[in-house]
C-alpha cells in the first residue's frame, strides 16, 4: 500500500514539473529577429575578379653593332621616349677617327678654294720675274760661252788680253754695283717701300753680274793661255749646252706663267672637289658608325627589364633592355567558367590597383574566352582601360568589377537575406513566426539583391542563416528601416 502511494506521489511530481516547464516556456517572449522592408533601389550586378596589366607592345632593345657597354642611361621603371638614347657603347677610337676626318674636310675645302680662286697677283708677278731671270741668266751663260769660244779661237794676242782685262774690270764694277743695289732694295722692302718682286729682280741682276764677272775672268785666262784643240771643242759644246739650257729654262718659265694666267683650271677644280666629296663621305661614314654606338629606344614606354651593365661585352642585336609601351594595354582577369553567360564584350567595369585604391579607373570588356582552363575551371576575360592612368605599370595586380546587369528602381533586400533552398528563398516574420518565402533573383549587387515576389510590407529577415522556418520571432526593424 505504501509502495503504491509513493508511485502516485512520484508521478504527480513529474507532471507538476512538466506543467511548470511548459508554463514557463509559453510565458517567455519570442526572440528578437532583425528585419528589413523591401526597398526600391538601382542595382548593379557585378562579377568581381583579380587580373593583371599586360602591355600589347613590348620591344627588346639591342645595339646594331657589338662592343663594350660604356654607360646605361636608364633604370627599370623609367619612362622613355622613342628615339631617346638609353645606352651607349664605347667610342673613343671612333671619336679620334671623326676628328681626323673633319680635319681632312677642312684641308680639302682650303685646297678647293685655292684652285677655284685663280692665281694671286703676286704669284703672277713672281712668275714673270722668274721668266725674266731665266732669260737673263741663260743669255749671260750663252754669251759667256760664246766669248770663251772666241777667245780660244783668237789665241793669246795682246789686244785680246787687253780687252779681256778691261772686261774683267767692267764686270767686277757691275757686280759691286749689283750688290749695293740689292742691299738698298732689301732695306726699302723691309721699310715697305718696295715689293718682293723688286727684291727678286735685284737678286737676279746680282746673279747675272757675278756670272758675267766669272765669264770675263775665264776669257782673260784664255787670252793669256793659247787654247788647245780639245779646249776649243769643249767650248763649242758649252755654247751648244748654254743655248739649249736657255731655251729650256725660258720655255719652262713661260709655261708656268701661262698656267698661272689660265687659272682656275677646270681639271684641278674637279680633282679638288672630288677630294672634298671623299673627305665628307668619310665623315658621314664615321658619324654613322658613331650613331650606331648610341642605343635608342624604338618606342615610348617604360623600361621593364634591364639586361646590360657598364663594362659588359655585347653582341650585335643582343637585348640590352626591354621597353613596354603604355599607349596600348589590356587587363587579363580570370573568373569562374560559370560566369560566362553573364559576361559579354562591351560591358563596363571598374578597375582598382591595390596600391592606388583612391584612383579607380574605368575599363571595357573586349573578349571573353575563347578557351577554358579545364583543370581549374576558369576563363580569361580581356579588358581595355578607357583612359590609361599614369601610375599603371605592366604586370600590376588589378581588382576588377565587371558590371553585367543594371536594374532601375528594383525591389531589393540585403544580400544576406537570400538563401538557396531548392531555389532562391527569403524568410519573413508573420504572426510571430518565421516563414520561408520563395523569390526570383533578378540581379545581385555587391550589397543588395534585386528580387521579385515580395511586397513592400513584408518583414524580411536580414540574416537568413541565423533563423529556422517556424521558429517564433519578434521582428525588430533594422536601423534605417527599409534596406
**Which triple of cell numbers denotes residue 53?**
596589366
Please provide the DSSP assignment of 182-231 as one string: HHHHHHHHHTTSS-HHHHHHHHHHHHHHHHHHHHHHHHHHHHHSPPPHHH
CA–CA separation, 99 and 179 (whole Å):
51
What is the predicted pLDDT for the residue at 343? 93
* Domain assignment of residue 470, given as a range: 44-52+326-482
pLDDT at 139: 83
User: What pLDDT, on the 0 to 100 scale, is given for residue 20?
Assistant: 44
Q: What are phi and psi of 92, to 5 degrees?
A: -55, -45
Asked if residue 27 belongs to a domain, the reply is: no
Question: What's residue 22's pLDDT?
Answer: 43
Q: What does the mean pLDDT of the chain come to?
A: 85
Asked if residue 33 is part of any domain, the answer here is no
Which residues, 6+ apart, have CB-to-CB distance to 62 below 8 Å? 295, 314, 316, 317, 318, 319, 320
Looking at the structure, do residues 335 and 243 belong to the same domain, yes or no?
A: no
Together in a domain, 310 and 410: no
- pLDDT value for 19: 56
CA separation (Å) from 335 to 50, 195, 353, 421?
Answer: 8, 101, 18, 25
**Residue 28: inside a domain, yes or no?**
no
Query: Which regions in the chain score pLDDT beneath 50?
Result: 1, 20, 22-27
Summarize the chain as % helix, strand, coil (round to 5).
45, 30, 20
Domain tally, the chain:
3
User: What is the structure's pLDDT at 337?
Assistant: 93
Q: 368 in a domain, yes or no?
A: yes
Comparing CA positions, the residue from 398, 369, 367 lying closest to residue 382 is 367
Three cell numbers written together for 43:
542595382
pLDDT of 27 reads 46
Residue % of the chain over a pLDDT of 70: 87
Residue 357 lies in a domain: yes
- Supply the DSSP symbol for 29: P
The confidence score (pLDDT) of residue 23 equals: 44
pLDDT tens track for 11-44: 565 555 655 454 444 445 689 999 999 999 998 8
What is the per-residue pLDDT for 24? 41
Calpha distance 351→336 (Å, rounded): 18
Is 29 within the bounds of a domain?
Answer: no
Query: Does residue 273 sit within a domain?
Result: no
Give the CATH number, domain containing residue 70: 2.40.50.100
Amino acid at each position: 500500500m505504501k509502495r503504491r502511494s509513493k508511485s502516485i506521489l512520484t508521478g504527480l511530481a513529474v507532471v507538476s514539473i512538466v506543467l511548470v516547464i511548459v508554463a514557463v516556456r509559453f510565458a517567455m517572449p519570442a526572440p528578437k529577429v532583425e528585419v528589413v522592408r523591401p526597398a526600391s533601389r538601382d542595382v548593379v550586378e557585378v562579377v568581381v575578379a583579380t587580373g593583371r596589366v599586360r602591355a600589347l607592345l613590348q620591344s627588346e632593345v639591342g645595339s646594331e653593332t657589338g662592343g663594350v657597354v660604356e654607360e646605361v642611361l636608364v633604370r627599370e621603371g623609367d619612362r622613355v621616349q622613342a628615339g631617346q638614347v638609353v645606352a651607349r657603347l664605347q667610342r673613343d677610337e671612333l671619336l679620334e677617327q671623326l676628328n681626323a676626318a673633319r680635319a681632312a674636310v677642312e684641308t680639302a675645302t682650303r685646297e678647293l678654294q685655292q684652285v677655284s680662286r685663280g692665281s694671286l697677283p703676286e704669284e703672277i708677278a713672281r712668275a714673270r720675274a722668274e721668266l725674266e731671270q731665266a732669260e737673263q741668266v741663260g743669255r749671260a751663260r750663252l754669251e759667256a760661252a760664246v766669248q770663251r769660244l772666241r777667245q780660244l779661237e783668237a789665241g793669246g794676242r795682246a789686244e785680246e788680253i787687253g780687252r779681256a782685262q778691261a772686261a774683267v774690270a767692267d764686270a767686277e764694277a757691275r757686280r759691286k754695283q749689283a750688290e749695293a743695289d740689292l742691299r738698298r732694295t732689301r732695306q726699302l722692302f723691309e721699310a715697305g717701300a718696295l715689293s718682293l718682286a723688286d727684291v727678286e729682280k735685284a737678286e737676279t741682276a746680282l746673279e747675272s753680274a757675278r756670272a758675267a764677272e766669272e765669264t770675263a775672268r775665264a776669257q782673260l785666262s784664255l787670252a793669256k793661255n793659247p787654247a788647245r784643240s780639245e779646249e776649243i771643242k769643249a767650248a763649242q759644246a758649252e755654247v751648244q749646252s748654254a743655248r739649249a739650257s736657255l731655251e729650256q729654262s725660258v720655255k719652262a718659265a713661260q709655261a708656268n706663267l701661262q698656267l698661272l694666267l689660265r687659272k682656275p683650271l677646270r681639271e684641278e677644280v674637279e680633282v679638288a672637289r672630288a677630294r672634298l666629296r671623299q673627305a665628307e663621305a668619310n665623315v658621314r661614314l664615321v658619324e654613322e658608325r658613331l650613331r650606331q654606338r648610341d642605343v635608342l629606344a624604338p618606342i615610348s614606354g617604360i623600361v621593364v627589364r634591364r639586361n646590360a651593365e657598364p663594362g659588359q661585352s655585347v653582341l650585335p642585336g643582343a637585348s640590352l633592355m626591354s621597353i613596354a609601351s603604355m599607349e596600348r594595354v589590356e587587363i587579363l582577369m580570370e573568373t569562374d567558367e560559370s560566369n560566362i553567360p553573364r559576361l559579354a564584350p562591351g560591358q563596363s567595369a571598374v578597375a582598382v590597383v591595390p596600391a592606388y585604391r583612391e584612383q579607380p579607373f574605368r575599363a571595357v570588356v573586349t573578349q571573353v574566352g575563347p578557351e577554358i582552363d579545364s583543370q581549374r575551371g576558369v576563363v580569361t576575360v580581356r579588358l581595355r582601360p578607357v583612359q590609361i592612368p599614369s601610375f599603371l605599370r605592366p604586370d600590376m595586380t588589378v581588382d576588377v568589377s565587371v558590371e553585367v546587369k543594371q536594374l532601375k528602381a528594383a525591389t531589393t533586400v540585403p544580400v544576406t537575406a537570400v538563401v538557396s533552398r531548392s531555389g532562391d528563398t527569403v524568410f519573413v516574420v508573420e504572426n510571430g513566426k518565421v516563414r520561408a518565402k520563395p523569390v526570383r533573383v533578378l540581379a545581385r549587387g555587391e550589397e543588395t539583391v534585386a528580387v521579385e515576389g515580395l511586397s513592400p510590407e513584408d518583414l524580411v529577415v536580414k540574416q537568413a542563416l541565423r533563423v529556422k522556418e517556424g521558429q517564433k520571432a519578434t521582428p525588430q526593424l533594422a536601423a534605417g528601416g527599409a534596406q
